[in-house]
Structure 1
Amino acid sequence: MMAVAPANRTAVVTGGASGIGAACADRLRKEGVRVLTLDRASSADLVVDITDAAAVAAAAAETGPVDVLVNSAGIVGPSLSFLETSLDDWRRVIEVNLFGTVNCMQAFVPDMVERGWGRVVNIASVAGKEGNPSMSVYSASKGATITLTKAVGKELATTGVIVNAVAPGNILTPMSADTPPDVLERYISLIPMARRGQASEVAELVAWLASEKVTFSTGSVYDISGGRATY
């Protein structure tokens, strides 16, 4: 029996104070969804560091039932060759990009399972599929996010909770603002559409994955890369 979406949905969007997260929050609000942004920034509805599992759990207890979770919070980390990276670099990025996502899913998903309906959308990256040179730390963290999505999506497949990921290519956001011009030029050269994406374009895909319209897709990864993705 197919689970029925709740009439009045609530969403939590991590990293919702800026970039893709903010665009997702705005787009979901246009669908009539009550959105709570969760971010370290003081402008967020829930000011929380996602690497603090106890703080995330407390936020989940405070919000009450949540129907949609968008995990958009993340950091890029160092732009260095693999041999130049340190274990501290790896720990810092994985703590945010992977463990932060895990913390949020463990805090918010159990209640979705109990109520028999939920949507989780994890923001990964094309880098997690293809591996970007000089970005091994970020690429590995996003690759882990992709496989986490696949595994949990399969585990929850009969619960009414759908878990998918979005893998953006190069998107114009504050997080990518410091990309060196030569690196940016190389990235754009890999995009058949010959331009960077907009956060609002990613948000359209996320809004669809967070809706009741998606009923037979879970553990999947949806590219939004202007044609860059090769598999």
Structure 2
Amino acid sequence: MPTLFLVRDVLSDPVQIISDVEKRLGPIDILVNNAGISRLGPLYLEKNIDIWWHVQEVNVKAPMALIHACLPSMMKRGSGKIITLGSAAADNSFPFGSAYGASKAALQKAHQCLDIEMRGKGIAFYCIHPGETSTTTMGQGDGVNMEATALPEVQRVVMNFAKTALTDTLALAADSIVFLAADERMEVFSGRYLDYCQDMEELLQNKDKILSEQLNMLSIKRL
């Protein structure tokens, strides 16, 4: 199978990127949106709101732009799978993570809406939490506001995250994507939040409960 490596700015011309790939390799059956960045720190310490907004551009606009570019061809063929790496941050709130949490929640909600509007067209939409590895940029480099690291409360969040959350392997993420791409049984969960730290066979065994009780969905619980 031919391999093609393209290094492009996704936001510059996503339609052209998809077109170039399809010209060389043929139609795209599976799109995996993998790139993302994080940002940790109090909003009031950001010297420029564009830093906060850049997280939304990379984590939300870029994958949605590629999805938008892939959909016409997938719709024409009546088949396709969209796999986007989301995060448990879409559902779990933590201090100093407004940029990252907002971006992952937006991705999850977008996939839920896309599943509804595209239902019956043969396209599955997955936004998954692939686990947490020590390779994440959360709390590292540009992923943290360096001025904020002087604050004890921020230091506690970074240390706690490093000690308790970064325990998964890269193999879990890789194997999760392959399983999702290959196993058609998972299409019943299109549009739903999938946490690959859970056992997927157990989820499949409980699919009726998940569907009937609207589980694994981003929603606001109201009185």
Structure 1 length as normaliser, TM-score?
0.69
AA aligned to 1:59 is: I
Identity of matched residues, % = 24
Tell me if structure 1 keeps the 8 A contact 2:10–2:17: no
User: In the alignment, is residue 172 of structure 1 matched against residue 134 of structure 2?
Assistant: yes
Corresponding position of 2:8:
48
- Please show how residues 57-96 of structure 1 align to structure 2 within 5 Å: 57-64=15-22, 65-77=27-39, 79-85=40-46, 86-96=48-58
User: By percentage of residues, which structure has more strand?
Assistant: 1
Is the deviation greater in 171-180 or in 153-162? 171-180
The yes-or-no answer on 1:186 pairing with 2:160 is yes
Could you tell me which residue of structure 1 aligns to residue 178 of structure 2?
207
Secondary structure at the residue paired with 1:163? strand
Q: Shift of residue 82 of structure 1?
A: 2.9
Deviations 1:172-223 (A, max 9, x none): 22534827885454125655xxx61112201211112212523322101111
Is 1:218 aligned to residue 176 of structure 2? Answer: no
* Aligned-pair CA distance for 1:131: 2.2
Question: Offset of 1:168 from its aligned partner?
Answer: 3.7
1:126–1:95: structure 2 CA closer, same or farther, 3 Å change rule? Answer: same
After superposing on structure 2, the runs of 4+ consecutive aligned residues of structure 1 that deviate more than 6 Å are none
Structure 2 length-normalised TM: 0.72
Select between 138-147 and 56-65 the one with higher mean Cα deviation.
Answer: 56-65
Larger radius of gyration: 2
The CA distance in 1 between the partners of 2:71 and 2:183, in whole Å, is 17
For the aligned residue pairs, the C-alpha RMSD in angstroms reads 2.6
Once the two structures are superposed, what CA deviation does each residue of 1:48-102 show, in whole Å capped at 9, x if it has no partner? 11222x2x2111111111000010111113x211332342122211111110011
Determine if contact 2:53/2:99 at 8 Å carries over to the other structure: no
Q: What is the CA–CA distance in structure 2 between the aligned matches of 1:157 and 1:135, rounded to whole Å? A: 33
Aligned residue number for residue 169 of structure 2:
198
Distance 2:55 2:3 in 1: 26
